[in-house]
Amino acid sequence: MSVVNPNTSAAAAPDHRASSLVAMLRERFGDQVLHEQPTLTGMPVLWVSRDALVEVLATLRKLPEPFEMLFDLSAVDERLRSHRHGLPEADFTVFYQLLSVSGNRDIMLKVALLEQDLSLPTVIPVYPNANWYEREVWDMFGVRFDGHPNLSRILMPSTWQGHPLRKDHHARATEFDPYTLTVASQEREQQALKFKPEDWGMKRKNDETDFMFLNLGPNHPSAHGAFRLVLQLDGEEVIDCVPDIGYHHRGAEKMAERQSWHSFIPYTDRIDYVGGVMNNLPYVLAVEKLAGIQVNGRIETIRVMMAELFRITSHLLFLGTYLQDLGAMSPVFYTFTDRQKGYDVIEAITGFRMHPAWYRIGGVMQDLPKGWDRLMQGFVDWMPARLNEYERAMMKNSLVWDRTKHIAAFDTANALAWGVTGPNLRATGCDFDLRKKRPYSGYENFDFEIPLAHNGDVFDRGQLRIDEMRESVKIIQQCINHMPAGDYKADHPLTTPPPRERMLEHIETLITHFLQVSWGPVLPGNESLQMIEATKGINSYYLTSDGGTMSYRTRIRTPSFPHLQQIPVLMRGGFVPDLIAHLGSIDFVMADVDR
Provide, rounded to whole angstroms, the least separation between the CB of residue 394 and another protein: 8
Provide, rounded to whole angstroms, the least separation between the CB of residue 134 and another protein: 32
Q: Which stretch binds another protein (CB under 8 A): 188-196, 202-210, 460-468, 577-585?
A: 577-585
Q: Which of 144, 167, 220, 270 binds another protein (CB under 8 A)?
A: 220
Provide, rounded to whole angstroms, the least separation between the CB of residue 467 and another protein: 20
Helix, strand or coil, per DSSP, at residue 230: strand
Q: Which stretch binds another protein (CB under 8 A): 15-23, 104-112, 164-172, 214-222?
A: 214-222
With respect to another protein, which residue has the nearer C-beta, 209 or 397?
Answer: 397
Provide, rounded to whole angstroms, the least separation between the CB of residue 45 and another protein: 45
Q: How far apart are CA 521 and CA 351, in angstroms?
A: 25
Q: How far apart are CA 65 and CA 139, in angstroms?
A: 33
With respect to another protein, which residue has the nearer C-beta, 3 or 399?
Answer: 399
* Residues 231/213, Cβ–Cβ less than 8 Å: yes
Q: Is 324 in the site for another protein (CB under 8 A)?
A: yes
Angle of helix 372-390 relative to helix 331-350, nearest 10 degrees, comes to 170
Q: Which stretch binds another protein (CB under 8 A): 14-22, 68-76, 265-273, 324-332?
A: 324-332
Q: Which of 212, 413, 510, 511 binds another protein (CB under 8 A)?
A: 212
DSSP designation for 296: -
Q: Is 577 in the site for another protein (CB under 8 A)?
A: yes
Q: How far apart are CA 295 and CA 361, in angstroms?
A: 10
With respect to another protein, which residue has the nearer C-beta, 340 or 388?
Answer: 340
Q: How many chain residues are in contact with another protein, going by CB under 8 A? A: 30
DSSP designation for 175: G
Give how far Cα 167 sits from Cα of 115, 222, 226, 440, Å: 13, 37, 28, 33
Q: Which of 51, 189, 402, 505 binds another protein (CB under 8 A)?
A: 402
Question: x-or-dash pattern for another protein, window 474-513, by CB under 8 A?
Answer: ----------------------------------------
Q: Is 292 in the site for another protein (CB under 8 A)?
A: no
Q: How far apart are CA 10 and CA 25, in angstroms?
A: 22
Cis preceding-peptide flag for 497 (omega within 30 of 0): yes
Q: Is 37 in the site for another protein (CB under 8 A)?
A: no
With respect to another protein, which residue has the nearer C-beta, 215 or 509?
Answer: 215
Q: Which stretch binds another protein (CB under 8 A): 97-105, 299-307, 537-545, 570-578?
A: 570-578
Provide, rounded to whole angstroms, the least separation between the CB of residue 247 and another protein: 17
- The pair phi, psi for residue 47, each rounded to 5°, is -90, 125
Angle of helix 458-481 relative to helix 576-586, nearest 10 degrees, comes to 20
Helix, strand or coil, per DSSP, at residue 388: helix
Q: Is 571 in the site for another protein (CB under 8 A)?
A: no
> Which is nearest to 397 in space by CA: 457, 463, 453?
463
Helix, strand or coil, per DSSP, at residue 84: coil
Provide, rounded to whole angstroms, the least separation between the CB of residue 581 and another protein: 9
With respect to another protein, which residue has the nearer C-beta, 68 or 325?
Answer: 325
Q: Which H or E element spans position 563?
A: helix 560-565
The residues with which 35 forms a beta bridge, in sequence order, are: 47
User: Quick one: CA dihedral 424, 430, 431, 435, positive or negative?
Assistant: negative
Q: Which stretch binds another protein (CB under 8 A): 86-94, 179-187, 363-371, 395-403?
A: 395-403
Residues 327 to 356: which contact another protein by CB under 8 A?
A: 327-330, 333-334, 337
Q: Which of 326, 430, 458, 534 binds another protein (CB under 8 A)?
A: 326
Cβ count near 79 (within 10 Å): 12
Q: Which amino acid is at 442?
A: G
Q: Is 400 in the site for another protein (CB under 8 A)?
A: yes
Q: CB-based burial of residue 335 (10 Å sphere; 0-12 exposed, 13-18 middle, 19+ buried)?
A: buried
Q: Which of 55, 236, 347, 373 binds another protein (CB under 8 A)?
A: 236
Q: Is 221 in the site for another protein (CB under 8 A)?
A: yes
Q: Is 323 in the site for another protein (CB under 8 A)?
A: yes
N residues, the chain: 595
Cis preceding-peptide flag for 218 (omega within 30 of 0): yes
Q: Which H or E element spans position 298?
A: helix 297-325
Q: Is 389 in the site for another protein (CB under 8 A)?
A: no
Q: Which residues bind another protein (CB under 8 A)?
A: 212, 214-215, 220-222, 235-236, 323-330, 333-334, 337, 394, 397, 399-400, 402-403, 575-578, 580
